[in-house]
Structure 1
Amino acid sequence: MAQLPEIVLQELADNKFAPLYFLQGEEAFYIDQITDYVEEHALTPTERSFNQTVVYGKDVSMNQILETARRFPMMAMRQVLIVKEAQDITDFNRKSAQDQLLSYVSKPVPSTVLVFAYKHKTLDGRSALKKAIEKNAILVESKKLYDNKIPAWVKQYCRRKDYKIKEKAVALLSDHIGNDLTRIANELDKMMLNYDSDTEITEVMIAKHVGISREYNVFELQSALGKKEIFKANQIIHYFQSNPRNNPIIPIISMLFAYFTKVMLVHNNRGAGKQELARLLGVNPYFVTEYMLASQNYTPAKTRKIIEHLHQADLQSKGIDSVASEGEILRELVFKIMH
């Protein structure tokens, strides 16, 4: 069975290194985290000169990798071999190469730490190789997080770095970047360089350091729509039209679709308390009031119609039944939502 990346990272921090790691999946963040930790901590700087090898999949064959893995360390307790971009190993998909790897996996060299960073793909779960890796090695499957899991991840990441973060700052960051964990972590790390630990990160700080307009972003747009603030919504749309490269239409429509879907959930759960609504919506209770206000401004029938308009705008943004520009599609969409 695949192990959770957080558990593997904790074991590495406790100086527990296994002979073989196979890191696979769509989410590159944890694959990079584990790979980087092994590269930086498995050996001392002096030991690395003779005992650490880092290669890229496109440059090596399976036979070359396993020949290196079977060597013994020089004046050290272990050697480290890291195969980055392992999905590009020249002969990985050939039966002969997989048989070679299967043989090694069945009996890995205990004095070698061999890491395969196999990104954006996964092994066939029915294969003998996958089963052998599960049994004899550390298998990590790094999956993309769903959008509704990103806020909790952001808060946990900040806690691990000894920072606090406000709910609105979390929402602004996750709305702007989406579920790209590597980019979120990089943006937070760059920002944290400017503040002492235990600082509480605010939406003002996020806007300043991540390059998000504090007033003109999709988070503020959905807020303006929910409150029926026509003038402000049109200001934001005008800003989006003036800055199309930084405000692509498809993520905006996706965010608005998620927003009005939650408004419909509020309609469908009349009488539920704030805590229950927060659980149903998958949001912090801090934001429930906003969805409740939007549900008062838009009837169930209107909300259903808005969701239809969003679906139509999504098709138009992909060139279906429309030759309008992104800005024109957004402006028409906001008009239909608010009138």
Structure 2
Amino acid sequence: MASVVAWLQSREPPPPLILVEGEERRLAQRVVVRLREAVEGELELAFLHLDAAEASPSEVVAHAETLPMLSPRMTVVVEGIERWLARGGGAEEEGPPPSLDPLLDYLEAPNPTTTLCLLAAKLDGRSRATRRLRDRCLHLEAKATPADAARWCAWVARRAGVRLERGAGELLVDHLGLDLARLETEVERLALLVEAGGTVTRELAEQQVAPALPGVWDFVGSLAARDRRRALTTLHGLLASGEVPFRLLGLVAWQVRQLLRARAALDRGRPRDEVARELRLYGHRADRLFRQAARFTEAELRAAHARLTRADLEMKGRGLGPELALEQVVLDLCPAAR
């Protein structure tokens, strides 16, 4: 399995068979965009976008076996193929489901003038059909890891006509998390602040994405003091000032990671100055970090970071709303009001 971001950055031509699997829809859609941009000739004749809810495997294979018209290649994209495997191959809701056999047979001898791209959020790895698909196709994973998210930032920057300084992408990921839509928006906004072909420096990125950091430090400080009332008051003030809950959560998580790195390094006997240089913090900012790190144990910081990660999932799911999810973090980390 390869990373979608790595494939997007490569110059490899699209192969005959691609399987994009994963729940990061933005990455999956970027694969579709790249395939569409690679079409030569009339787009209407050389690019077909289907939904597995409306097209059966046999119909898709028929399209894939069609010779291209006025173009050297045909591209067929099919969304949601997990429907086929979950129902045994059926696209229609009524009647016996069509067989997957036409698709499985096609995998053995794909049309060399067609790129067939199959998209799925999640497939059952125990299924024979899934194993065949993963084995025969270029298998791309639509899942954001911290490293991939940083590479995504660099890729978005290049598309916007600028470049990111070394470390700028990682800083954005630290501040904003793994939400690729948020990262893309922020990189595109930063690109507008420099000349075409210029460089978005790490310093510029930090200046632009961290205006709320003083308030966030206050919020983290109230969590460190287990001061539930002050933490809730600070949180509500940040939200009332216009801070977006998702971005605020990313900033808090970044601060907690900084505290965790500092606490772990100091516990292992490393000199304070060395740790500060590694974290790129100097003067009063370094002093403040070490003061707050001293109020936590390493175990407490790891638990806090795990709780923030869970809150991120809750905010993206169908459970609590973003504001309530943040309030619940306060209640969990500050079990008793002071």
User: What TM-score, normalized by structure 2, do the two folds share?
Assistant: 0.67
- The residue that corresponds to 2:133 in the other structure is 133
What pairs with 1:29-178 in structure 2 (closer than 5 Å)? 29-44=26-41, 46=42, 48-88=43-83, 93-94=87-88, 97-118=99-120, 120-124=121-125, 126-146=126-146, 150=149, 154=153, 158=157, 161-165=161-165, 171=171, 173-178=172-177
| RMSD over aligned Cα atoms | 4.9
**Separation in structure 2 between the aligned mates of residue 17 and residue 169 of structure 1, nearest angstrom:** 27
The counterpart of 2:237, out of the listed 239, 245, 259, is 239
**Contact (CA 8 Å) 2:4, 2:27: kept in 1 or not?**
yes
Matches within 5 A, 1:217-236: 220-221=217-218
Whole-angstrom distance in 1 between the partners of 2:122 and 2:79: 13
Change (3 A) 1:240 1:60: same
Match for residue 19 of structure 1 among 12, 16, 26: 16
Q: What secondary structure sits across from 1:143 in the alignment? A: coil
Identity %: 15
Paired with 1:169 and 1:76, the residues of 2 have a C-alpha distance of 38
**Deviations 1:185-212, CA, capped at 9 Å, x for gaps:** 233124424532214356667776xxx6
AA aligned opposite 1:111? T
Give the aligned residue type for 1:30: L
SS in 1 for 2:100: helix
Shift of 1:85: 3.8
Instruction: Give the secondary-structure state (helix, strand or coil) at the position aligned to 1:66.
Output: helix
Alignment of 1:3-18 (within 5 A): 3-9=2-8, 13-14=11-12, 16-18=13-15
Q: Which amino acid aligns with 2:264?
A: L
Q: CA deviation at 1:256?
A: 5.3
For 1:189-200, what aligned pairs fall within 5 Å after superposition? Answer: 189-193=188-192, 195-196=194-195, 197-200=197-200
Distance 1:86 1:177, change over 3 A: farther
Counterpart contact for 2:20–2:139, Cα < 8 Å: yes
Any stretches of 5+ residues in structure 2 without a counterpart? Answer: 90-97
Q: Which amino acid aligns with 1:94?
A: G
Report what 1:187 is aligned to.
186
* Contact persistence 1:310–1:333 (CA under 8 A): yes
In the alignment, the residues of structure 1 paired with residue 134 and residue 302 of structure 2 have an alpha-carbon distance, to the nearest angstrom, of: 46
How much has 1:286 moved relative to structure 2?
Answer: 1.6
* Residue aligned with 2:53, SS: helix
AA in 1 matched with 2:122: K
CA distance in 2: counterparts of 1:32 and 1:312, whole angstroms? 29
Contact 1:164 1:201 in 2 (8 A): yes
Aligned equivalents of 1:68, 1:303: Cα separation in 2: 60
Q: Which amino acid aligns with 1:104?
A: Y
Counterparts in 2 of 1:313 and 1:67: CA distance versus 1, 3 Å: closer
Give 1:303's match in structure 2, choosing from 297, 300, 305. 297
Measure, in 1, the Cα distance between the counterparts of 2:148 and 2:44. 41
2:2 alignment partner, SS class: coil
CA distance in 1, matches of 2:134, 2:328: 52
Task: Give distance in 2, aligned partners of 1:10 and 1:309.
Answer: 36
Distance 1:262 1:137, change over 3 A: same
CA distance in 1, matches of 2:140, 2:222: 42
Distance (Å, rounded) in 1 between the aligned partners of 2:69 and 2:49: 16
